[in-house]
Amino acid sequence: MTTFIVPKNIFHGLGSLENLKTIEGTKAVIVIGGSSVKKNGVLEKTQNFLSEAGIQSAVFSGVEADPSIDTVMKGAKFFAQEQPDVVIGLGGCSAIDAAKAMWVFYEYPESTLEELAAPFAVKTMRNKAIFVAIPSTSGTGTEITGLSVITDREKGTKYPIVSHELTPDVAIIDGELCASMPGHVTANTGLDALSHGVEAYVSNIADRYNDALAKGSIDLVFKNLPRAVAEPDELETRQAMHDASCMAGMAFTNVWLGIVHAMSHQVGGTFGIAHGCGNAILMPNVIRFNAKVTGKYGDLAALFGKTTAEEFAREVAGLTASVGVADSFKACGIDEEQWNAKLDAMTEHALKDPCTLFNPRKPTFEEIRAIYQACYDGTAIDF
């Protein structure tokens, strides 16, 4: 027996931002990142739709990429002043994740980040406000997931806060918001969405519901990502990538991820490699590794009229190259000496990462280390 948990309302389609008019409340705080939603007029539209719903709004701006605990605490203070009954995360995943964490501290001011990082430590939410997520990147699926990733820069650690209590009440998936995304962000975040679909599809707790969503999202990414990068203003393509990211998010929030993420988290934390880029580099070799225990990659190869895991691994590498993303960690510019110095620690941490628990094949220290090394060199593994 298992459950399938997603937001109660998922509005999707070009122009679906307008559904903000249906939200019930009196006061909203909108959390945004930098200036892109101001420049492209999305913030103004958001505030106007809220006004039509009779909701006043205040804006907390300046959430940085990989949001810090300091920013979250500043936001929580702002929430305490403004007393919203609707919290809106608007922008990239960093803005939305920061908004989720601010919401927790608004509801439970006495909490600490360390406490909340324990699995499912978040208490019952929605005593003060509901949560609306409006993403402007097509990758992480945070509009769907019970996850917020916050960075403690002093300790140099990323804390994932994991709880279905954090699953937004409303998600708005409007591809129009993505047209202003730069090419490299489109490519990296799109490959992140692909990795969510692929890892969810082979998760050791996968089920039919999530398989359908995961496979559908993979198909959409292959068909649309190159065009989203090459023709950024083509809105139907933007919407297709936004839908893909959301569908992959639905799958992975329910059946979790695998060692692509466990390993990528370490390379991101240690060398600052963009999350989606790290995932794309790791995916072909992780597919080869996992293919020894699961035949499910054959279903994914069938999307291309092919049959084997190796053929699917090559399709992933081909897509990565076609959107201008590097094919090895060496090609990302990581110095060999520094790589060698960090390799054992990254391997150790990847083994302990919670995502490893859901990988179809249980890896050893030596195996993770060898996959890392092959992905640094840009070679294929065979074990």
Ligand X SMILES: NC(=O)c1ccc[n+]([C@@H]2O[C@H](COP(=O)([O-])OP(=O)(O)OC[C@H]3O[C@@H](n4cnc5c(N)ncnc54)[C@H](O)[C@@H]3O)[C@@H](O)[C@H]2O)c1
346 makes contact, choosing from ligand X, Zn ion, none, with CB < 5 to 8 Å by partner type, with none
Residue with tokens 């990254």: 346
Residue number with CB closer to ligand X (88 or 93)? 93
> What minimum distance in Å lies between the beta carbon of 235 and ligand X?
12
Q: Which does 321 bind (CB under 5 to 8 A by kind): ligand X, Zn ion, none?
A: none
Contact yes or no for 190/276 (Cβ under 8 A): yes
Residue 298's binding partner, choosing from Zn ion, ligand X, none, with beta-carbon cut-off 5 to 8 A by kind?
none
Q: Residue 189 binds which entry of Zn ion, ligand X, none, with Cβ cut-offs from 5 to 8 Å by kind?
A: ligand X
Instruction: Look up tokens 């699917």; give the residue.
Output: 312
Token pair 């195996």 is found at: 367
When CB distances are held under 5 to 8 angstroms depending on the partner's kind, the choice from Zn ion, ligand X, none that residue 13 binds is none
Site string for Zn ion, 168-197 (x = CB under 5 A): ------------------------x-----
Q: Which does 71 bind (CB under 5 to 8 A by kind): Zn ion, ligand X, none?
A: none
Based on CB atoms, which residue is closest to Zn ion, 46 or 188?
A: 188
The number of C-alpha atoms within 13 Å of 297 and in the hemisphere containing its C-beta is 24
Residue 161 backbone dihedrals phi, psi, to 5 degrees: -95, 115
**C-beta separation of 31 from 78 below 8 A:** no
Of residues 101 and 317, the one with the C-beta less far from ligand X: 101
Nearer to ligand X, 13 or 298 (CB): 13
By CB under 6 A, name the binding residues for ligand X: 33-34, 36, 65-66, 91-94, 97, 136-137, 139-142, 145, 147-149, 177-178, 180-181, 185, 189, 275
**By CB under 5 A, is residue 97 in contact with Zn ion?**
no
Smallest distance, ligand X to C-beta of residue 205, A? 18
Q: Are the C-beta atoms of 193 and 145 separated by less than 8 Å?
A: no
Q: How far is CA 87 from the centre of its chain?
A: 20
CB of 155 to Zn ion, least distance (A): 22
Q: Where are the alpha helices (DSSP H) in the chain?
A: 36-39, 42-52, 69-82, 93-107, 113-116, 183-202, 208-230, 235-255, 259-271, 275-290, 296-301, 309-322, 336-352, 365-377
Residue 315 contacts Zn ion per CB under 5 A: no
Closer to ligand X by CB, 141 or 197: give it: 141
364 secondary structure, DSSP code: P
Give me the residue whose beta carbon is nearest to Zn ion. 192
> Which CB sits closer to Zn ion, 192 or 315?
192
C-alpha 10, offset from chain centre: 17
Nearer to ligand X, 273 or 301 (CB): 273
Task: Give the tokens for residue 272.
Answer: 């600052």
Q: Give me the sign of the Cα torsion angle 148, 90, 269, 309.
A: positive
> Which residue in the shown chain puts its C-beta closest to ligand X?
92
86, β-bridge pairs = 28, 130
Q: What is the contact surface with Zn ion in residues (CB under 5 A)?
A: 192
